Structure 1
């Protein structure tokens, strides 16, 4: 069995190398095993994918900290790969809430996780600058000396605040507060991504499949990106395949949809006996 410390060292090494790596987002143990089988080197959870699978909204009101961490633990236990988690906004407004979430994430076997500066309140969507920085600082202190890579997220562009200067200011402050990886989902184009990468001193994560134009791994790597995730887009792709198959049966009365056979599905999702 690969230990948490060994997974952490492997995760650290991925961030330290010159080329970018893709860290896809499974939503359960089976999808995690499939992605590991295909050769990905690390995984991340997705609150959106989990929400789709449970028939809930992707929000703190519908997905509790216990829900998120139970799902993350199942994914951690499904493979020997390093797993980082989408930890929302730390499940509370206070820095202490973020610190508790990080400690519980480490107990669940995770070797990474993200804290965002979105409040979850549409009328006041982003924490003030000072509060956002203190929340990251508390999360960083909670994982000090532990095998855990902290990602800090600036959510401006997801909440109708397309202010690149403020986003960079926040990411720089998050880095100074102790974050190991920086992340601003929803940046509008490759030029903005490159600008962020040049402006900060820590590895940058970007998400593809979220909105707007998609760029290749090579293009993102040239822009300075170190880590690429896919958010809930793989889960949406899976739902799209299910929808197309169901619509074919309902509208055409045929069963020609693409699929793997049972033995292949088992090979991709069930670990071999030891």
Structure 2
């Protein structure tokens, strides 16, 4: 699958009809979502990390790219990969590893994981421009803006960063956890499709689309829901086996 297919899916969306990208955490879940008829998938770094036994942002790069490769290999639809802040890789190596894994898109966030603070926006934009130059049109770049996530609820700063990232060649911006009421204004002010995340107590995908999101993802939310179902099953099995043991 090419990046062109994924890129085209972001445009011409009607209000209330966003591009909904489920987040598979392994090959099996990827097949389930593909078989359900979704046109593309977006891996969540936190969900993949949990499936591999790591905390979010603690997965070694080699293991993350190996997991992405397995997910891509399992389906015949486009896959975009959350590669966090790029694992400290130079743009050339990052793009090469994404290409090798078969991903046609990526999330790149502007949090500096060494400090936990927001990265300087111009430095982030310069790095995104390097990634774009290396990838050409072969990657859909979703530039995550972490202002709201990092306690900087300044819409003007979110817009400033988004415009810099757009100028650097981003295809989409992802102001994660931004208030849903801001989505339409952010999309207009930045001039790119906006990605919104579904949160447990927040609007549903179609509602986010009506509020201005062209693309909707779930972060690790679907993996959490799946594990909650597994936990309930495990507790039921444990109760059943304990009850039988007590009767013998």
**TM-score, length basis structure 2:** 0.90
The equivalent of 2:5 in structure 1 is: 10
Q: Are residues 1:49 and 2:47 paired?
A: yes
C-alpha deviations, 1:40-59, integer Å up to 9, x for none?
11001111111111221111
The equivalent of 2:122 in structure 1 is: 130
SS at match of 1:157: coil
Shift of 1:124: 4.8
**Which of 188, 195, 214 pairs up with 1:198?**
188
The equivalent of 2:33 in structure 1 is: 35
The equivalent of 1:108 in structure 2 is: 101
**Which of 250, 255, 267 pairs up with 2:238?**
250
Q: Are residues 1:166 and 2:157 paired?
A: yes
Cα RMSD after superposing both structures? 1.9
The equivalent of 2:65 in structure 1 is: 69
Shift of 1:98: 3.5
**Which of 82, 88, 92 pairs up with 2:84?**
88
Quick one: distance in 1 between partners of 2:205 and 2:45? 23
Quick one: distance in 2 between partners of 1:179 and 1:217? 23
Q: Are residues 1:181 and 2:179 paired?
A: no
SS at match of 2:142: strand
**Which of 142, 148, 153 pairs up with 2:139?**
148
CA contact (8 A) 1:113 1:149 kept: yes
CA contact (8 A) 2:13 2:19 kept: no
The equivalent of 1:219 in structure 2 is: 207
CA contact (8 A) 1:27 1:50 kept: yes
The equivalent of 1:271 in structure 2 is: none
Shift of 1:177: 0.8
SS at match of 2:107: strand
SS at match of 2:108: strand
Shift of 1:80: 0.5
Q: Are residues 1:117 and 2:110 paired?
A: yes
CA contact (8 A) 1:197 1:223 kept: no
Quick one: distance in 1 between partners of 2:113 and 2:80? 21
Which blocks of at least 5 consecutive residues in structure 1 are unaligned? 256-274
SS at match of 2:31: helix
Shift of 1:252: 5.6
Shift of 1:129: 2.1
SS at match of 1:44: strand
Query: Across the two proteins, how many residue pairs are aligned to each other?
Result: 240
Shift of 1:99: 3.9
CA contact (8 A) 2:72 2:103 kept: yes
Which blocks of at least 5 consecutive residues in structure 2 are unaligned? 244-248
The equivalent of 1:261 in structure 2 is: none
Quick one: distance in 1 between partners of 2:91 and 2:147? 19
SS at match of 1:161: coil
SS at match of 1:198: helix
The 1:161/1:18 distance shift into structure 2, 3 A limit, reads: same
**Which of 216, 220, 244 pairs up with 1:232?**
220
